[in-house]
Amino acid sequence: MVTRKDGLKYNDKIILAPMVRVGTLPMRLLALHYGADIVYSEEIIDWKLLKSVRIVNDALGTIDYIDKSDGTIVFRTCAIEKNKVVVQLGTCDPSRALKVGKMIENDVAGIDINMGCPKEFSLKGGMGATLLTQPEKAKAILSILVKNVSIPVTCKIRVFEDMEAMISLVKELASTGISAIAVHGRTKIERPQHLNRNSMIAAVAQAINIPVIANGGSREIDKYSDILKFRDECGASSVMIARAAEANCSIFCQDGMKHLEDVIVAYLKLAVDYDNSPSNTKYCVQNMLKELQETPKGKRFLECQTLEQICSIWHLGGYCRQRQLEFQAKGMLGRREISPDMFNESPKRSKLDAVEDLDVYAVKCAFIRVNFHDPDLPKSRLISYCGKNKLKVPKYKIINKDKLFRAIVTVDERRYTSSYWEKNKRFAEQGAALSCCVGLGLIDRTTLVTNGSILE
């Protein structure tokens, strides 16, 4: 058994729960800023981490686990949260779980195994709540981690209809040596509109001698004191907050919640400082705005596609652009810099290399859909240009590598491309057309700088 360092303790803690697409680095840091003691990542599937590459990102001051196939950030963390962040792992295989555990144990404070997710994806993959029906496999996953990693291991479950069966299972799970167990007070078929079974959480707390973390009480939690009330009703050691924190992360503030606008601004600054993806940032802000998305401001926000556009709604557009330029000057490896094979020690020469040996006009520009109306899409402009000048219609060549795409368009026997790798064929063609429009003078380069297609 691995000798443990002085690690994370789960007694008397208020915790940010694992939430898909919400528990990324900016939200975790915001929760810690407002008073959370421990923060969980969103659930990350084991094979996603195993297929990633670990990068020290000096520009951001982070550790990044990056999907080698498309540059997506699988997990990003930093020194501020190192002793307080728990990665929740989706797994159904002890050996894979251990490989991930050894891979991340020096970057995080704990590992949690998801045994409660009721979503179809998890259930079909043998993960989440499926493990509650396979106690031997569940125990094997926990045991191998407890014995071989140097950080605390926990699991998160849901209650059963059958109290006796539930108590029997949690005793078995606790016997593996885990440091705590989180219990969501609804069964796998129940949803937020159903009452949380606080008495069943209390029964678990009475039955085992490790910390029990109560979860599922957000519908009754409107302020900090409600968190403590929920903990006491459940007889639990600690409390894990999901939906209440998702809506307003300042629920963790002991001195009272902050105004939602201030919370959004604080979140956006962290999203900028840690180069969070625009889609993830937008999703988190949507969950804060809720019905406010129907206001004029909310509707402008919904039209945004880039991080700078989102930030501009809250008067942070200049801050976002400044920080992105700073990161670029530091040589940050961001989404715009990702290319196929860049993480391979011996990248193979691709078809694109051969093409780029020829005379190709290249501009590093991203196609941002919201910047163009249908009649004025770059491809449409090129077709119109060719028609007016009696040229052959533009001809596109697609280069696909892993999950990334680039295109080369030929117009009047000249080739044009965007050196930015897109995530789908359609955007790659529009990117090539956009570069061509710049080369032909149909679109001014400064316009693309202004709207964020070109970062300089």
Residue numbers annotated as active site: 117
Torsion sign across C-alpha atoms 50, 56, 60, 62: positive
Strands 110-115 and 85-90: parallel
d(CA 319, CA 208): 50
Residue 200's φ and ψ, nearest 5 degrees, are -75, -35
Gap between the Cα atoms of 65 and 58, Å rounded = 14
Pairing of strands 212-215, 180-184: parallel
Distance CA(293)–CA(444), nearest Å, equals 33
Task: Give the DSSP H/E element, type plus range, for residue 38.
Answer: strand 38-40
Do residues 143 and 174 lie in contact, with contact meaning Cβ atoms separated by under 8 Å?
A: no
Angle at 378 between CA 375 and CA 380, to 5 degrees: 45
Task: Say which amino acid occupies 30.
Answer: L
- Which tokens belong to 441? 């003078």
Q: What is the DSSP letter of 422?
A: B
3-state secondary structure 89-129: EECCCHHHHHHHHHHHCCCCCEEEEEECCCCHHHHHCCCHH
Total residue count of the chain as it appears in this document = 456
Place of tokens 């043998």: 126
C-beta separation of 43 from 89 below 8 A: yes
Residue 222 CA to residue 83 CA, distance in Å, equals 28
The stretches of 163-277 forming alpha helices (DSSP H) are 163-174, 198-207, 224-234, 243-247, 260-273
Task: Indicate the angle between helix axes 163-174 and 198-207, nearest 10 degrees.
Answer: 40
